[in-house]
Structure 1
């Protein structure tokens, strides 16, 4: 994605902050525990924290959490749902924390939006020696037949390559490559799922960047197509169902980058 277009997508979420908080999934707890297992302490920065979906899991695990989010509307939602968390405005490129002040930096469905040429050194700066950087992504499991059909009906602007397991592996292959202190990451994938109805699944999909930036006629046509698919698929046509997902993770353990 071209730089200006990437920025337009990355900055689109604020207009849907309330819907994002209500309808986006949480993260598999096993994935979060895996991400943080090598961390030398309990101080965790949730970077690009959005409305606090990942923040809530970190808090539930008893960690000392700071959340940083650039979008004012998303940050306001986070502060409403997690009033006891230190939540600060800022970005991956300008992290408002001192050097070596956290043991882990985690990013939920956010690492791909960062300008890694700038964010990589910033993340290394705030990490203590031996600290962990982890990215987590929720993807739909298109190995399940009806989920693959949904992805086709929705189109790549809604469920793109990075939103499926195979595409996620390819799309994240080069993250932080060539950035000092970051070698090849460890990878892991964890089963996950979200209870949905057809209406709530459509509501969740409307919070995706590709939908948020669509011209209205295209958006309306896309959502009609998704609703028609869900109404016609036996797995989703009547009442509640589970959307099969995976929480996919990348994990880097950082040495003493300060020399």
Structure 2
């Protein structure tokens, strides 16, 4: 992917913020349990910054868990939607490459579906700067479960139509891809979960991914119309079971 196309995909969400907020999946409580276990401390009462917070899907969970959380979001459209969804949680404009946060001010720095939009050469030093000793950097992604046949078939159809897969970061993300410099030594954990949603919700969910947004309305509409036929045959009751493996990588500072 070129720098320009990467930037276009990163900014594409601002035009679809309401669609994103209404249809993207959240995360299971077991993920937050795993974060606390691996970090060796609870989120309740912890000072947390959720970076690339988008419309607040992960921020809302951290806030509900009792964290003192601030959101960091670069996009105007996403930040505006965040404020509508979470008016009582602070959101500041910025990104992981240059965090608008004080040195050694955080217990947790979190990235939900967003680390792959950073430049690790800049984002890793920033993470180490803002985390307190013993603080935790937690990165996670919802990824389609690879052993679910209909999801694998859908992924192949997307690849054929657009010439690329939906995820920017896939389930094979590793410590080396997160931090090529090797300064971090994250622990990996996977958490499986699922949700049952109407076909329309599932189509709006996948349509809110950047690969769809940057290809324009015509290409997206053509794919989604064909995909609706596939899903209607596969799920005659009109409810789709989306199965996810949340890939979590967590590193603690010294």
Per the alignment, residue 238 of structure 1 pairs with 237
Task: List 4+ stretches of structure 1 deviating above 4 A.
Answer: 156-159, 161-164, 170-173
The correspondence for 2:165, drawn from 147, 160, 163, is: 160
CA distance in 2, matches of 1:173, 1:95: 22
- Listed as ranges, the gaps of 5+ residues in structure 2 are none
Q: Tell me, yes or no, if structure 1 residue 35 matches structure 2 residue 35.
A: yes
Deviation (angstroms), 1:191: 1.2
Per the alignment, residue 114 of structure 2 pairs with 110
CA displacement, residues 11-41 of structure 1 (integer Å, 9 cap, x when unaligned): 1100000000000011122112322431667
Tell me the TM-score normalised to structure 2 length.
Answer: 0.90
CA distance in 1, matches of 2:187, 2:195: 26
TM alignment of 1:192-207, pairs within 5 A: 192-207=193-208
Residues 1:47 and 1:36: Cα distance change in structure 2 (over 3 Å): farther
Q: Tell me, yes or no, if structure 1 residue 144 matches structure 2 residue 148.
A: yes
Check conservation: 1:158, 1:211, Cα contact below 8 A: no
- Does the residue aligned with 1:95 lie in a helix, a strand or coil? coil
Per the alignment, residue 24 of structure 1 pairs with 24
Q: Tell me, yes or no, if structure 1 residue 182 matches structure 2 residue 218.
A: no
CA displacement, residues 169-206 of structure 1 (integer Å, 9 cap, x when unaligned): 15775111205x413x2111111112211111111111
User: How many aligned residue pairs are there?
Assistant: 249
Residues 1:2 and 1:172: Cα distance change in structure 2 (over 3 Å): farther
Q: Tell me, yes or no, if structure 1 residue 227 matches structure 2 residue 228.
A: yes
Tell me the TM-score normalised to structure 1 length.
Answer: 0.89
Deviation (angstroms), 1:142: 2.8
Per the alignment, residue 246 of structure 2 pairs with 247
CA distance in 1, matches of 2:245, 2:168: 10
Residues 1:107 and 1:34: Cα distance change in structure 2 (over 3 Å): same
Check conservation: 1:150, 1:230, Cα contact below 8 A: no
Check conservation: 2:158, 2:165, Cα contact below 8 A: no
CA distance in 1, matches of 2:10, 2:2: 12
Deviation (angstroms), 1:160: 2.5
Deviation (angstroms), 1:127: 0.5
Check conservation: 2:166, 2:209, Cα contact below 8 A: no
Residues 1:68 and 1:62: Cα distance change in structure 2 (over 3 Å): same
Per the alignment, residue 92 of structure 1 pairs with 96
Deviation (angstroms), 1:60: 1.3
Deviation (angstroms), 1:162: 4.4
TM alignment of 1:72-91, pairs within 5 A: 72-91=76-95
